[in-house]
């Protein structure tokens, strides 16, 4: 989808090699204004100030993937409709 939309990726990080830490997630939240969390077919939008670290985690306790920063929006989890709208 990113190639189709000709989206430039500024930075990419493999969670297998370099897992996201709580401090990293806090930095992402601090820089965002809005957070969109996709869980399966559900999608939730939050103000970044209202989002908690647990909102960004899946059932195993790890951070959901992918996590994308699009402008001032933090997108957590995969939802094709959300990505299509933002890109």
Domain containing 55: what range? Answer: 33-86
Q: What residue spans of 2-70 are helical by DSSP H?
A: 22-31
Residue 8 lies in a domain: no
Q: What pLDDT digit, counting tens, does each position of 67-84 carry?
A: 989 889 999 988 778 777
86: enclosing H helix or E strand: helix 80-86
Total domain count, the chain: 1
pLDDT value of position 33: 97
Q: What pTM did the predictor assign?
A: 0.82
Residue 47 lies in a domain: yes
Q: What pLDDT digit, counting tens, does each position of 19-69 carry?
A: 899 999 999 999 999 999 988 778 999 999 999 999 999 988 999 888 989
Residue 69 lies in a domain: yes
DSSP E strands: which ranges in 1-87?
A: 34-39, 42-47, 67-70, 73-76
Is the model's pLDDT at 8 over the cut of 60? yes
């Amino acid at each position: 989808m990113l190639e189709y939309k000709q989206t430039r990726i500024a930075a990419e990080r493999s969670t297998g090699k370099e897992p996201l830490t709580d401090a990293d997630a806090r930095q992402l939240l601090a820089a965002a204004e809005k957070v969109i969390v996709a869980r399966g077919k559900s999608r939730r939008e939050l103000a970044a100030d209202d989002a908690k670290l647990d909102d960004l985690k899946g059932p195993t306790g790890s951070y959901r993937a992918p996590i994308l920063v699009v402008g001032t929006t933090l997108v957590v989890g995969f939802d094709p409709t959300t990505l299509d709208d933002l890109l």
